[in-house]
Structure formats: structure tokens, C-alpha cells
Amino acid sequence: MTTAIAPLRILIGKVGLDGHDRGVKLVARALRDAGMEIVYTGLHQTPEQIVSAAIQEDVDAIGLSMLSGAHNTLFSRVLELLKEQEADDIVVFGGGIVPAEDLPTLHAAGVRAVFAPGTPMSEIVDFLKGIQGRT
């Protein structure tokens, strides 16, 4: 007898003042087409709103899109809130404009992956499929 694995539930969010959402919508669609359940929170969310929605929706991962330059502050705040809520088993990943020199700091803080513009969608899908059963 084979046990079915529930589809991954992924929250996709735009945190802060960044108002550009074309890329994040493309990622959300690609993940949905790959069989994942997607919760898209929309523009101008606070870290508190993202974490609250992630917990309420019982997601496996949070994907944050950052184009505003506030990635160090906003990623850190999301990770801090997840820890405070004892929900730090939720995988956090991101995409957008993040300078290479900031990646080691983000990874050390707990961000599992950061995808630059132009990353093939299959790479993001494969990353998330790789967390299944290990979150």
C-alpha cells in the first residue's frame, strides 16, 4: 500500500514597500503548476502578517520576494517571528534583487535559498520538492 504525500503548501509574499509583483506571480504560477498549493498574500505585507498567515495556513515554506533592498531587515524579522511563534520549522526562501555579498548573512540567519532574477522555474520547484519530508 502506497501512502500519498500531501502537496506542499507554500506561502508567497511581498514584504515591505516593494510594489513590483510580476516575478512573484510567475513563481506562484510555476509552483502551482508543479502541484503545490499556493497562498499568495499580495503586496505591502508586514513580516507579522506573513508569519500570521503562514501559521494559519499551515504552510511548509514561505517564499519572499524582495526588490526594495530591505532583504536583510525583513528576512531577519520573519525568521525571528517564526522562532517566537515556535514555527521555525517553516522553510524560508526568497528571490529578487539580493547582492551576492548579503547571501552568507541571510543563509546564516536561516534563509534556505535565494533565487536571483532569471533563475529557471524548475530550479525553484526542485528546491521545494527537496524539502518535502524534511521540513
pLDDT tier for residue 1 given thresholds of 50, 70 and 90: low
Q: Which domains does the chain have, with CATH numbers?
A: 9-128 (3.40.50.280)
pLDDT digits (tens, 9 = 90+) for 66-94: 888 889 999 999 999 999 999 999 999 99
Exposed e or buried b per residue across 82-97, where buried means at least 16 C-beta atoms within 10 angstroms of its C-beta: beeeeeeebbbbbbbe
What whole-number distance in Å separates Cα of residue 87 and Cα of residue 114? 20
Other CB atoms within a 10 A radius of the CB of residue 114 amount to: 21
Using the structure block, give the residue that is written with the C-alpha cell 510594489: 19
pLDDT digits (tens, 9 = 90+) for 35-64: 999 999 999 999 999 999 999 999 999 999
